[in-house]
Every structure is written in C-alpha cells, then in structure tokens.
Amino acid sequence: MNESDDDKLMRDHEYDGIQEYDNNLPRWWVYKFLITIAFAVVYMYWMQFSGSGKNIWDEYMTDRTAYERDEMLRAAKNMRPSEEEFLALAADPLVLSSGELVFKERCASCHGLKGEGIVGPNLTDHYWIHGGSLMEIANVVEKGVPEKGMVPWKGILKPDEIYAVIAYVHELNKKGEVEGKAAEGEFVSGGK
C-alpha cells in the first residue's frame, strides 16, 4: 500500500494521538449478528405470541409445584410414626437389633447397657420422668433434656435410627426391671 491509500483508510478523528483505520467488520461477524436477530424474532414470537412455548411465569410455576411436591415428600419422610407404627417396629427383630446397636453406641454411657440407669434414669422400671408412652419417649429422644444433660438426637441420628432406639427402649421396659438405679418419676402402669 502506498501513502495515499493509507490516508484514505484513516478516520478523521484522533484520541490521545491514536488514529483508527476505517475497517469493515468481518463477514462472519455480520452474518452471526444477523442470525442472532432472526433467532430473537422467532424466539419472541414462539414464547410470547404463539402460545406454544412456556413463558417465564409458566416455568416458575412448574418449578414451584415440583419444589412443593418434593418438600411434602421430604416432610412425610421425616414425620414421626404413630404409636401403632412404633409397636409394629418393636415387633421387627431387624429394627430391634439396629436399635440395640445404636443404644449401646449412643445411650449406654448414661442409661447402662441393659437400660439400668447410670447417670440417666433406669429405663427398665415402670417409672418415667417425662412420660412413658411411646410418643412421649420419642419426644424426649428427639428433643433431648438439655437441663439434665441429654442431647437432642434429632439431627444427629437418622430418623430410622431414632425410631429403632425407641422401639428398643420399649422392649427393654417390656422385658422387665433390671437391678439398677432407683426409680425416678411417676409410675406408669404396665409400662409403655
């Protein structure tokens, strides 16, 4: 290129001593830009005017419904069994063996290996401090008794482990009194 062609390509303006060439955009860039505009027009028609596509509100409502369904399933999964369901769990040998393992690992340090009571109360007699029904025991296991040093096990143990321990404690009490800590609390006839 000679000097006169170079001058024709230069733009008139200057900034900080820098001048620009008057170049056209590359063809591939122009085509890509035009395709983007065409896509935007088709997309706008499809989503807003044709009624065929889902708009943002429809997608939000679909996602929200799925989330609410998942939350209901999660809540149902974490719902505590009824007293009858606890009794059914107490009749299952696999649940009882699982409950026994968890009891020996987590509870025996305070309640003794046989439930006779060391620091915590005796679980084999018919005297209960916080109520002797299965639902009351479940409440104590899940929420704990912080003022007496018992931690809330909900969130530490899985729900099925908590239910297995409750079923195991029920069986311990059903088997009868083991020599251990003196009775505490109120008498509950016939155990739980």
Euclidean distance between CA atoms 71 and 75, whole angstroms:
6
Strand ranges (E), the chain = 10-15, 18-21, 127-128, 186-187
Give the pLDDT confidence of 61-112 residue by residue, as tens digits: 999 999 888 888 777 666 778 888 888 888 999 999 999 999 999 999 999 9
Q: Report the helix count and the strand count for the chain, using DSSP H and E.
A: 8, 4
Helix (H, G, I), strand (E, B) or coil at 67: helix
Q: What is the pTM of this model?
A: 0.58
Long-range pairs, 82-87, Cβ under 8 A, ≥24: 83/133, 83/134, 83/135, 86/134, 86/135, 86/138, 86/163, 86/166, 86/167, 86/170, 87/134, 87/170
Question: In the chain, what are the domain boundaries?
Answer: 3-76, 83-187
Q: Residue 127 forms beta bridges with which residues?
A: 187
Percentage of the chain modeled with pLDDT above 70: 92
Residue with tokens 């009775």: 183
- Pick one of 1.25.40.80, 1.10.3720.10, 1.10.760.10, 3.40.50.880 as the CATH number of 83-187: 1.10.760.10
Q: What is the mean pLDDT of the chain?
A: 84
Would you tell me how many other CB atoms lie within 10 Å of the CB of residue 6? Answer: 10
Q: Per-residue pLDDT for 6 more than 80?
A: no
Say which range, 28-37, 51-60, 141-150, 166-175, has the weakest mean pLDDT.
51-60
Question: Which of 124, 135, 34, 31 is CA-nearest to residue 83?
Answer: 135
Would you tell me how many other CB atoms lie within 10 Å of the CB of residue 165? Answer: 25
Question: Which of 108, 119, 109, 130 is CA-nearest to residue 181?
Answer: 119
Helix (H, G, I), strand (E, B) or coil at 145: strand
